[in-house]
């Protein structure tokens, strides 16, 4: 089962994250996005971490980070080895026409969106939660506390797997907010019917994120 969550982004069913094929962007083969990559982007104060549009330098940094294991990216940034490849990528971006840069940005953000789509949850319309700590660190801490994975294994865990395990841990702790497969089938059928008749739900019912 594939679930449409945001726009055209699809969430793969539980345990199907291994079937996601990372794309090639600007001739650079991206690795499966993992918690460690998110941690590096957070440390770099990347707008991508905040779900904001990146500038050419920001996109160059994100592309650099996500084509390497996170610890390699950290080390090369820390030691200055990243300066040359970042300069090369930056020049390529600055020379691009706006429409091409926009297409490259969309391709990279699509990669991030697919890997960071979590199992759907029910929420009240307009309900907002205030984060007291970076979300990826909350997931890392939970995995460390409640699984046998080492810190390195958690940081290098593909993000979909980390999100799925976190959801399962929450469910085991009594969280009833997750959408079940049966509920999602009903929701998908409703969405399909709305598209057929060209109507939108204005009812304010509970909905998946």
Q: What is the pLDDT of residues 32-82, one digit of tens each?
A: 999 999 999 999 999 999 989 999 999 999 999 999 999 999 999 999 999
Residues 103 and 98: their CA atoms lie apart, in Å, by: 9
pLDDT-based confidence at 172, cuts 50/70/90? confident
Share above pLDDT 70 across residues of the chain, in percent, rounded to a whole number: 76
The secondary element (H helix, E strand) that includes residue 182 is helix 181-197
Mean pLDDT of the chain: 81
Asked if residue 125 is part of any domain, the answer here is no
Contact 122, 40 (CB under 8 A): no
CA-CA distances (angstroms) from residue 135 to 38, 58, 139, 163? 10, 21, 7, 11
Does a structural domain hold residue 144? yes
- For residue 10, pLDDT beyond 80: no
Q: What is the pLDDT of residues 102-153, one digit of tens each?
A: 999 999 999 998 898 877 777 666 666 666 789 999 999 999 999 999 999 9
Q: Per-residue pLDDT for 12 more than 60?
A: no
Provide the pLDDT confidence category of residue 174 given band limits of 50, 70 and 90: confident
Domain annotation covers residue 202 = no
Q: Is residue 84 part of a domain?
A: yes
Whether residue 126 is contained in a domain is answered as: no
Structure tokens at 171: 């469910």
Residue 98 has pLDDT above 60, yes or no: yes
Total structural domains within the chain: 1
* Res 191: pLDDT: 64
Is the confidence at residue 95, as pLDDT, over 80? yes
Distance CA 40, CA 2 (A): 29
Tell me which DSSP letter residue 136 carries: H
In a domain, 206, yes or no: no
Range of the domain at 7: 1-120+133-191
Question: What pLDDT, on a 0 to 100 scale, did the predictor assign at position 197?
Answer: 40
Whether the CB-CB separation of 23 and 104 falls below 8 Å is answered with no
Asked whether residue 4 is domain-assigned, the answer is: yes
- Is residue 180 over pLDDT 90? no
Q: Where are the alpha helices (DSSP H) in 27-180?
A: 35-43, 56-66, 70-79, 83-94, 98-116, 135-146, 151-155, 159-172
For residue 201, being part of any structural domain is answered with no
Residue 202: band (very low, low, confident or very high) from pLDDT cuts 50, 70, 90 = very low
């Amino acid at each position: 089962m594939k679930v449409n969550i945001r726009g055209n982004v699809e969430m793969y069913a539980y345990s199907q994250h291994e079937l996601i094929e990372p794309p090639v962007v600007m001739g650079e083969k991206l690795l499966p996005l993992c918690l460690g990559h998110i941690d590096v982007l957070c440390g770099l104060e990347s707008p991508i971490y905040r779900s904001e549009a990146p500038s050419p330098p920001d996109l160059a940094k994100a592309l650099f980070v996500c084509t390497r294991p996170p610890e390699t990216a950290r080390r090369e940034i820390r030691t200055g080895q990243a300066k040359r490849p970042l300069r090369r990528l930056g020049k390529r971006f600055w020379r691009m026409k706006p429409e091409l840069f926009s297409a490259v940005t969309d391709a990279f953000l699509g990669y991030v969106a697919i890997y960071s789509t979590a199992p759907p949850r029910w929420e009240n319309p307009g309900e907002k939660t205030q984060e007291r700590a970076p979300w990826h660190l909350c997931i890392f801490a939970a995995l460390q506390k409640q699984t046998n994975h080492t810190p390195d294994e958690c940081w290098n865990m593909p993000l979909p797997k980390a999100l799925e395990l976190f959801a399962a841990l929450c469910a085991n702790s009594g969280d009833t907010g997750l959408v079940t497969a049966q509920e999602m089938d009903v929701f998908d059928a409703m969405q399909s019917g709305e598209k057929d008749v060209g109507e939108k739900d204005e009812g304010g019912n509970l909905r998946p994120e």
